[in-house]
A and B are shown apart, each in its own frame.
Chain A
Amino acid sequence: MSATTPIASDIARMQRASFLVAAVAGVLLLIGALVDFQRFLQAYLVGYLMWLGPTLGSLAIVMLHNMTGGKWGFAIRRLLEAGMRNVPLMAVLFLPLLLGVTQLYEWAHVEHDPIIEAKRAYLNVPFFALRALIFFAVWYGLSTAMLRLAEKYDRTLSIPALRKLKGYSGLGLVAYVMTMSFASFDWGMSLEPHWFSTIYGVHFVVGQVLSTLCLAIVAASRLKRVEPFSRWLERSHFHDLGNLLLAFVMLWAYISFSQFLIIWSGNLPEETPWYLNRLGFGWQTFAMILVLGHFAAPFVILLLRRSKRNARVLATLAMALFALRFVDYYWLLAPAFHHGEFHPSWMDAVAPIGVGALWMGMFLRNTRGRPLVSLQDSKLLQQLEEAPSAG
């Protein structure tokens, strides 16, 4: 776990590769932006929101784990903490979107639309920017507070520190869900300013946790191949993580289907265009891929006990599911830009890779100099699970 172990050089190598990919993608995207700034923004938004997923999802899972305890959490805790440290990175990466807000969002440049005018008090550029500032302030505050409180508890192992950790986690989860919901309305839903769905925020929150679980499982299974983690990470860790993944896959499907059925049955002209746009013009292929790949296949595979207890099978599934998370974001967001047609651009693929490579490089950098698993955790386990929660 110190800098001399093979895993450390492994990480250094992956980190260099990540930054290299990020640099190449960055140059390409810069060229793309100069050629067609609007098209760049559209591709970039999808890539950005995709990688905001594991950043904030890490924060959410850490807070959830602080409150519930459970062995599964200790297996991935350090990885999640490294993910959480990427909040400032995501804040910096938000700047292009803020710069391009008028080109990206219809409400920011269309005038004389009575429906948009009626919600102008919310949908206007200064308030949009202010909200973004608040969101990032809250997320940064939460992630640093969680890291500090956890670190303090690790050091002292005192019950008051634990109570504080648990209490702040509860409040933090409330803050995260509220801010992320409104962030999803701002950055995703308002792309089609006439349309609205009250469950949209929940869809985003669930998606973020799902993305994070996928990445964490992949990372943990890689760690499992290396000493000393191979001794510490057990089958039951992966079993629990697999169950959690299954629960969130089902939750995702539940939310997606409920929304579809309610809008399909209501059949209102202000709502159905959203689906009509996404179930035709080539977009239906993505919808089908999501139904089968994002729900049906993982559902069946994760029902089997054997596949959950096998780190390799689970990691392969998680990797595929993470790739499908991109399809979900793409299907959710991109049809807003081309009404009634399907016009992919090379930037649609390069943007998520570029943002992802940078994210990954920073993530790997965050893991360095810190233990990948906390040795105290095995002792903490019981106390965290059993101690009465904070007041």
Chain B
Amino acid sequence: MFGNPKVKGPVFGLLAEYEDGNALLDAIRHGRSAGYERMEAYTPLPMHEVFEALGDKNRLPLLVLFGGIAGAVTGFALQYWSHVIHYPYNIGGRPLNSWPSFIVVMFELTILFAALTAVFGMLLLNGLPRPHHPVFDVPGFEEASHSRFFLLVPAYDPEFHMERTKQMLSATATVQLSEVPNP
């Protein structure tokens, strides 16, 4: 959450490349059983199983719920304040608190606030925008947005050890294993 911790030293982590999603999944399970907790996978398409295998949490729905409630409250408060407190005025014999009329704007603001929370909450939790990330320096990583699958074991993983991790990753169906340079 909120981006990743800083890494000292010349190597940011180890990146293994896979040809398909199932090989990646096997590799993640293998890594998890070896005690790696902070791995990250890169896939060209959303794969819920990969996320589950990595064992992370997703708190976005709760945030969006609060966003929606805030929108509803704001909507009603704005209208009530406008027409009952700030500028009470009889228009067409309607009551000052014309709640049936207020429901529409309340509804729209509920949706607006919830949608903004969903988008910006997602970006915030993902630590985006982040134009540059060390994995971009690995040659061939551009395939992650095309057709290849990658697994990163970052140096900030408590279990990370140059040699042992390399051995662990070599034992999987990886087609290429690279060191990610730390800028």
Direct contact of A and B (CB under 8 A): yes
* A261 on the B face (CB < 8 A): yes
Q: Which residues of A contact B104 (CB under 8 A)?
A: 261
Looking across the interface, which residue of chain B has its beta carbon closest to that of A260? B100
Residues of A contacting B: mostly = helix
- Report the minimal beta-carbon distance from A261 to chain B, rounded to whole angstroms: 5
* A265 on the B face (CB < 8 A): yes
* B58 on the A face (CB < 8 A): no
Q: Are A265 and B103 in contact (CB under 8 A)?
A: no
* B167 on the A face (CB < 8 A): no
Q: Are A257 and B101 in contact (CB under 8 A)?
A: no
- Report the minimal beta-carbon distance from B83 to chain A, rounded to whole angstroms: 15
- Report the minimal beta-carbon distance from B76 to chain A, rounded to whole angstroms: 15
* A264 on the B face (CB < 8 A): yes
Please measure, in the bound complex, the distance between the C-alpha atom of A261 and the C-alpha atom of B102, giving whole angstroms.
Answer: 10
Please measure, in the bound complex, the distance between the C-alpha atom of A265 and the C-alpha atom of B92, giving whole angstroms.
Answer: 10
Interface positions of B from 99 to 133, Cβ below 8 Å from A? 100-101, 103-104
Interface positions of A from 223 to 276, Cβ below 8 Å from B? 257, 260-261, 264-265, 267
Q: Which of B92, B93, B103 is within 8 Å of A257, CB to CB? A: B103
Please measure, in the bound complex, the distance between the C-alpha atom of A260 and the C-alpha atom of B103, giving whole angstroms.
Answer: 12
Please measure, in the bound complex, the distance between the C-alpha atom of A302 and the C-alpha atom of B73, giving whole angstroms.
Answer: 22
- Report the minimal beta-carbon distance from B26 to chain A, rounded to whole angstroms: 27
- Report the minimal beta-carbon distance from A272 to chain B, rounded to whole angstroms: 12
Q: Which residues of B contact A267 (CB under 8 A)?
A: 92-93
- Report the minimal beta-carbon distance from B91 to chain A, rounded to whole angstroms: 12
Q: Which residues of A contact B103 (CB under 8 A)?
A: 257, 261
Q: Which residues of B contact A264 (CB under 8 A)?
A: 100
Please measure, in the bound complex, the distance between the C-alpha atom of A302 and the C-alpha atom of B25, giving whole angstroms.
Answer: 34
11 examples of A-B residue contacts, CB within 8 angstroms: A257-B103, A260-B100, A261-B100, A261-B101, A261-B103, A261-B104, A264-B100, A265-B100, A265-B101, A267-B92, A267-B93
A-B CB proximity, top 6 nearest: A264-B100, A261-B100, A260-B100, A265-B101, A257-B103, A261-B101
Interface residues of B (CB under 8 A from A): 92-93, 100-101, 103-104
Extra A-B contacts (6), CB below 8 Å, given A257-B103, A261-B100: A260-B100, A261-B103, A265-B100, A265-B101, A267-B92, A267-B93
